[in-house]
């Protein structure tokens, strides 16, 4: 999408993110999953922390939490919701700007890994995360399982007496790309565009990226409630960990 940058999504959605997406996943279940991996003294790094939808409720259950995001507007929302600075917000790219230090858990929730728009950048993210995991640490990736198709779609996202939000998107299965706009018409505010773009990957492609970064699949679930993952699963939650010294490349727990 011409003119789209790493901060475009966050800057466009910061003012509506909590309203539109607060309930996209079960927050207590997600917090319990990440908290169990990190432990009460563990350090956690969230990629694409946004407004703190997950980081803020997670903070009391772990030793420390850092969240990185490329959008200053998202981080401003996080800071406003977190006056005691229980989450350390860092503005930057989730490949090149990861803060120094080792973490017990690094996690990328709800398709965040797909916000990196090339396979090379996604691979680089796995490598950067691997360098920042403690020896016993875990990289948790939550993402949808792609059902590839090519074409365009237009639909109504929501409608009220004074506003309507349309969704327009274009999909390219060969490039593994999808991009679109939420187009908001309001009676008093005119038109507002909210762009997004992703580069999706199948679970086995993500596994290959992890393997190249020295990580292995330790667990895979259909959701954070640890329901079984299978051929019909629409999403996956995968836990990657460092390969053991004697463990061959490509192995999985």
What's residue 249's pLDDT?
Answer: 72
What's residue 102's pLDDT?
Answer: 96
What's residue 116's pLDDT?
Answer: 98
What's residue 248's pLDDT?
Answer: 64
What's residue 253's pLDDT?
Answer: 45
Q: Does domain 8-145+200-242 have CATH number 3.40.50.2000?
A: no
Q: Could you write out the DSSP letters of every residue in the chain?
A: -TT--TTHHHHHHTTTHHHHHTTSS-HHHHHHHHHHHH-TT-EEEEES-TT-TTHHHHGGGSSEEEEEES-HHHHHHHHHH-TT--SEEEES-TTT-PPSS-EEEEEE-TTGGGGS-SHHHHHHHHHHHHHTEEEEEEEEEEEE------EEEEEEEEEETTEEEEEEEEEETTTTEEEEEEEEEETTTEEEEEEEEEE---HHHHHHHHHHTTEEEEEEESSTT-PBP-TT-SEEEEEEEEPPTTPPTT-B-
Which residues are CB-contacts of 98 (< 8 A; sequence separation ≥ 6)?
45, 68, 92, 128, 129, 132
What's residue 189's pLDDT?
Answer: 83
Which residues are CB-contacts of 61 (< 8 A; sequence separation ≥ 6)?
31, 35, 38, 40
Global pTM exceeds 0.85: yes
Measured distance CA(158)–CA(107) in Å, rounded: 30
What CATH number was assigned to the domain covering residues 151-199?
Answer: 2.20.25.570
Q: How many CB atoms lie within 10 A of CB 56?
A: 19
Walk along the chain (253 residues) and give the pLDDT tens digit of each residue. 899 999 999 999 999 999 999 889 999 999 999 999 999 999 999 999 999 999 999 999 999 999 999 999 999 999 999 999 999 999 999 999 999 999 999 999 999 999 999 999 999 999 999 999 999 999 999 999 999 999 999 999 999 999 999 999 999 999 999 999 999 999 888 999 999 999 999 999 999 999 999 999 999 999 999 999 999 999 999 999 998 765 667 655 4
Q: Give residue limits of the domains in the chain.
A: 8-145+200-242, 151-199
């Amino acid at each position: 999408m011409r003119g789209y940058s790493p901060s475009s999504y966050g800057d466009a959605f910061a003012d509506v993110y909590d309203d539109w997406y607060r309930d996209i996943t079960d927050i207590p279940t997600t917090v319990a999953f990440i908290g169990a991996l990190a432990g009460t003294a563990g350090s956690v790094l969230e990629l694409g922390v946004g407004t703190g939808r997950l980081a803020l409720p997670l903070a009391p259950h772990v030793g420390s939490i850092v969240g990185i995001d490329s959008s200053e507007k998202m981080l401003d929302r996080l800071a406003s919701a977190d006056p005691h600075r229980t989450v350390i917000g860092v503005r930057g790219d989730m490949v090149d700007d990861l803060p120094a230090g080792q973490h017990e858990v690094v996690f990328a929730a709800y398709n965040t890994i797909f916000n990196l728009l090339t396979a090379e950048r996604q691979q680089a993210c796995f490598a950067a995360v691997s360098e920042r995991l403690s020896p016993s640490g875990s990289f948790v990736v939550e993402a949808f399982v792609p059902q590839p198709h090519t074409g365009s779609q237009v639909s109504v996202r929501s409608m009220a007496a004074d506003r309507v939000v349309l969704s327009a998107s274009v999909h390219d299965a060969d490039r593994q790309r999808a991009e679109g706009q939420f187009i908001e018409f309001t009676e008093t505010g005119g038109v507002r565009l909210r762009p997004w773009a992703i580069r999706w990957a199948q679970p086995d492609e993500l596994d290959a990226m992890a393997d190249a970064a020295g990580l292995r699949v330790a667990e895979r679930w259909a959701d954070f409630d640890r329901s079984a993952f299978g051929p019909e699963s629409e999403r996956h939650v995968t836990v990657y960990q460092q390969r053991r010294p004697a463990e061959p490349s490509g192995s999985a727990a």
